[in-house]
Amino acid sequence: MKVLITGAGGQLGFELQRTAPAGVSVCALKSGDCDIGDANAVAAVVRREAPDVIINAAAYTAVDKAESDPAAAERVNAQGPLNLAGSGARLLHVSTDFVFDGLRGTPWKPADPTQPLSVYGRSKLAGEQPVLALGARGLVLRTSWVYSTHGNNFVKTMLKLMGTRPELRVVADQIGAPTWARGLAGALWRCVDRPALSGVHHWRDAGAASWYDFAVAIGEEGAQLGLLPAAVPVHPIGTLDYPTPARRPAFSLLDCTSTWQALELTPPHWRIQLRGMLKEMKEGNG
């Protein structure tokens, strides 16, 4: 089987390459190798590589910047999947919890109504449509709060700030779940191995957290592993205390029950996953 991975330079693309199963031929393309927003570029790559499966890990993820540059977000997040959908290959597309408005306090199921609050969320939702229009050849996997040793993410930002500041203030009224890109990559490879699987699915690590909870755990685990001299104080604040250009959903915890059953795969608790990622960072394997 030949699998083409877009967004290979990102944190998920990095983990997908590291965890590719034996017997799979991988063609990994960074954004510089193929601009998925360019239909001609995509068509040329597809003709050259003739993949059986495409995993679209490419995304415009600058949530706040998208508010002032919607065209850039839409080019990658909406036009990109549309271009890839014309390849003739099975298409696995990674989406986001930001397609929901977060206005209720129960986990979001794959079939629940979507109502994104931001340009980023709307562009990601638009990108789901051409994938789902493929029917049996299209699969959307929504996830949340992704991090890895590779690339830029909340965990690495917190470690950097905790190494230079005496204390931090972090939003405590936005609830979701962190997801280690390593586990997400494993879930996607399991999806590849199940060709009959299609439609919308959800994946995240087990448990739930606020950004404040996540930051506290990063400090504690980082200090225990020697990545920080000590855990610095983290103070909870409200969303209104930290205004951003893009609105975030207050409760975007994804209900993954059906996906975990379909894949016969249940992730560990997010704190265990965080510890694994930080251990890898300490060992210098990131």
* Per-residue pLDDT reduced to its tens digit, 16-72: 999 999 999 999 999 899 999 999 999 999 999 999 999 999 999 999 999 999 999
Q: Which of the residues 120, 147, 212, 242 is marked catalytic? A: 120
Please check the confidence at residue 270 and state whether its pLDDT lies above 90: yes
Averaged pLDDT for residues 142-169: 95
Around Cβ 58, how many Cβ atoms within 10 Å?
Answer: 28
SS3 of 21, please?
coil
* Mean local confidence (pLDDT), 194-205: 97
Query: Is 120 in the active site?
Result: yes
pLDDT of res. 286 = 45
pLDDT at 96 (0 to 100): 98
Query: pLDDT tens for residues 71-95?
Result: 999 999 999 999 999 999 999 999 9
The pair of three-digit structure tokens given for residue 274, joined into one six-digit string: 């965080």
Give the residue among 27, 35, 24 at the shortest CA–CA distance from 5.
27
A 10 A CB-CB count for 284 gives: 7
- Check pLDDT > 50 for residue 145: yes
Query: Using CA atoms, how far apart are residues 23 and 28, in angstroms rounded to an integer?
Result: 15
Whole-prediction pTM value?
Answer: 0.94
The single-letter code of the amino acid at 203 is W
User: For 140-145, what is the mean pLDDT?
Assistant: 98
**pLDDT confidence tier of residue 284, bands split at 50, 70 and 90:** confident
Q: Is 135 left (phi over 0), alpha (psi -120 to 50) or beta?
A: left
Answer whether residue 285 shows pLDDT above 60: no
Q: What is the pLDDT of residue 282?
A: 92
When pLDDT is averaged across residues 143-161 and rounded to a whole number, the result is: 95
Lowest mean pLDDT among 18-27, 148-157, 276-285: 276-285
Mean of all residue pLDDT scores within the chain = 96
Neighbouring residues of 258: CB distance < 8 A, sequence distance ≥ 6 = 109, 110, 201, 202
**Segment 205-236, tens digit of pLDDT:** 999 999 999 999 999 999 999 999 988 999 99
**How many Å apart are CA 150 and CA 113, to the nearest integer?**
33
Q: What is the dihedral of CA 41, 43, 47, 53, to 10 degrees?
A: 110
Tell me how far apart the alpha carbons of residues 7 and 9 are, in angstroms, rounded to a whole number. 5
